[in-house]
Structure 1
Amino acid sequence: MTATKPETLKSIFEPRSIAVIGASRRSNTIGYVILDSLLAYDYVGAVYPVNPKADVVHSIRAYPSIGDVPETVDLAVIVVPKEHVLGVAEECGAAGVKAVIVISAGFREVGGEGAEREQKLLELVRKYDMRMVGPNCMGVLNTDPRIAMNATFAPTTPPTGNVAFLSQSGAMGVTILDYAREYGIGVSKFISLGNKADISGNDVLEYLKDDPDTSVILMYLESFGNPRHFTRIAREVTQVKPVVAVKAARTRAGIRAASSHTGAMAGLDVATDALFSQCGVIRVETVEGLFDMGMGFGNAPLPKGNRVAVVTNAGGPGIIIADALESQNLEVVEFADETKTKLRDSLPQEASVNNPVDMIASADADSYRRVLEAVLEDPSVDAVIASFVPPLGVQAEDVATAITDTAAGRSQPTLAVLMGRRGLRESRALLHAASVPAYIFPESAVRALMGMDRHRRWLERPAGMVHRYEDVDRARLEEILAAARKAGRRRLDEFEALSLLRAYGVPVVPSRSATTADEAVEAAKAVGFPVVLKVMAADV
Structure 2
Amino acid sequence: MDRTMKTARRRIVSPAPAGAPSGLDAIFRPRSVAVIGASRQKATIGREVIHNLLDFEFNGKVFPVNPKAPVIHSMKCYSSVLDIPDEVDLAVIVVPRQTVLRVVEECRRKGGRGLIVITAGFREAGREGKALEGRLRELVRRAGMRMVGPNCMGVINTAPGVRLNASFAAARPERGSAAFLSQSGALGEAILANAKELGLGISMFVSMGNKTDVSGNDLLEYWEDDPDVRVILMYLESFGNPRRFTEIARRITRKKPIVTVKAGRTPAGARAAVSHTGSIVGLDVATESLLEQCGVIRVSTMEEMFTLAPAFSLQPVPAGPRVAIVTNAGGPGILATDAAVNLG
Q: TM-score, normalised by structure 2?
A: 0.89
Matches within 5 A, 1:244-263: 244-263=259-278
Cα 1:302–1:205 shift into 2, 3 Å: closer
- Shift, 1:301, TM fit: 4.5
Q: Return the match for 2:339 from 330, 333, 337.
A: 330
**Which of the numbers 169, 176, 179 marks the counterpart of 1:154?**
169
Distance 1:225 1:55, change over 3 A: same
Q: Where does 1:54-203 land on structure 2 (aligned, <5 Å)?
A: 54-203=69-218
1:132 is displaced (CA, Å) by: 0.5
Q: Is the 8 A contact 1:25 1:57 kept in 2?
A: yes
Instruction: Establish whether residue 207 from structure 1 lines up as the match of residue 207 from structure 2.
Output: no
Contact 2:101 2:136 in 1 (8 A): yes
> What does the per-residue CA deviation read over 1:232-289, in whole Å, with 9 as the maximum and x for residues that have no partner?
1111111221111110011001000000000010111111111111111111111111
- Partner deviation per Cα, 1:174-194 (whole Å, 9 max, x = no partner): 111111122120110010100
* 1:9 and 2:24 aligned: yes
Structure 1-normalised TM-score?
0.57
CA contact (8 A) 1:180 1:186 kept: yes
Shift of 1:47: 0.4
User: Which residue number corresponds to residue 300 of structure 2?
Assistant: 285
Q: Aligned-pair distance for 1:299? A: 1.8
Q: Measure, in 1, the Cα distance between the counterparts of 2:317 and 2:137.
A: 42
Distance 1:296 1:49, change over 3 A: same
Cα gap change, 1:277 to 1:95, in 2 (>3 Å): same
Structure whose alpha-carbon radius of gyration is higher: 1
* Structure 1 counterpart of 2:327, from 290, 301, 309: 309
Q: CA deviation at 1:310?
A: 6.5
Deviations 1:197-219 (A, max 9, x none): 00000000000001111011010
SS in structure 1 opposite 2:264? coil
- In structure 1, give the amino acid aligned to 2:327: A
Q: Letter of the 1:159 partner, please give it.
A: E
- Deviations 1:100-127 (Å, cap 9, x if unpaired)? 0000000001111110110111111012
Bigger relative CO (Cα 8 Å, ≥ 6 apart): 2
Instruction: Tell me if 1:49 matches 2:64.
Output: yes
Give the 3-state SS of the residue equivalent to 2:196 in structure 1: helix
User: 2:3: which partner in 1?
Assistant: none
Aligned counterparts of 1:310 and 1:76: Cα–Cα separation in 2: 58
Q: What is the DSSP-based 3-state SS (H/G/I as helix, E as strand, rest coil) of the residue aligned with 2:251?
A: helix
Post-superposition shift, 1:62? 0.8
Q: Aligned partners of 1:232 and 1:184: how far apart in 2?
A: 31
Name which of 279, 290, 295 aligns with 1:264. Answer: 279
Distance change (3 Å), C-alpha of 1:310 and 1:86: farther
Contact 1:308-1:330 within 8 A present in 2 as well = no
Whether the 8 Å CA contact 2:256–2:316 is kept in 1: the answer is: no
The number of residue pairs the alignment matches comes to: 323
- Is the Cα–Cα contact under 8 Å of residues 7 and 207 in structure 1 kept in the other structure? no
- Encode CA deviations 1:36-85: one digit per residue, 9 max, x unaligned: 00000000000000000111100011100010111221100000111111
SS in 2 for 1:309: coil
Secondary structure of the 1:92 match is helix
Query: In the TM superposition, what is the alpha-carbon distance from 1:18 to its structure 2 partner?
Result: 0.4
Q: Per-residue deviation at 1:7?
A: 6.0
Q: How far apart, in 2, do the equivalents of 1:168 and 1:108 lie?
A: 14
Mapped to 2, the partners of 1:25 and 1:16 lie a distance apart of 24
Counterpart secondary structure, 1:307: coil
TM-superposition CA deviations, 1:501-523 (whole Å, max 9, x none)? xxxxxxxxxxxxxxxxxxxxxxx
Q: Specify whether residues 229 and 26 from structure 1 end up closer, same or farther in structure 2 by C-alpha distance, changes over 3 A only.
A: same
**SS state at 2:327 partner:** strand
Tell me which amino acid in the other structure corresponds to 1:68. D
Aligned CA RMSD, in angstroms, stands at 2.3
Structure 2: gaps (5+ residues): 1-15
Given that residues 94 and 128 in structure 1 are in contact (C-alpha distance below 8 angstroms), is that contact kept between their aligned partners in structure 2? Answer: no
Q: Which amino acid aligns with 1:127?
A: R
CA contact (8 A) 1:159 1:186 kept: yes
Checking the alignment, whether the CA contact within 8 Å between 1:16 and 1:74 is kept in structure 2 is yes
4+ residue runs of structure 1 moved beyond 4 angstroms? 301-304
Aligned AA for 1:92? C
- Partner amino acid, structure 2, of 1:45: G
1:274 aligns with 2:283: no
Structure 1 residue ranges without an equivalent (≥5) = 312-317, 332-449, 458-540
Question: Which amino acid in the other structure matches residue 200 of structure 1?
Answer: S
Question: Amino acid of the residue matched to residue 160 of structure 2?
Answer: P
Secondary structure of the residue that 2:161 maps to in structure 1?
Answer: coil
Distance across 2 between alignment mates of 1:51 and 1:182: 37
Q: Kindly state the Cα deviation for residue 330 of structure 1 after the two structures are TM-superposed.
A: 3.4
Q: 8 Å contact 2:270–2:281 — kept in the other structure?
A: yes
Are the aligned partners of 1:306 and 1:330 in contact in 2 as well (CA < 8 Å)?
Answer: no
Counterpart code for 2:178? V
**Separation in structure 2 between the aligned mates of residue 69 and residue 78 of structure 1, nearest angstrom:** 15
1:307/1:330 contact within 8 Å kept: no
Q: Partners in 1 of 2:23 and 2:164 — Cα distance?
A: 17
Task: Write the letter of the residue equivalent to 1:48.
Answer: F
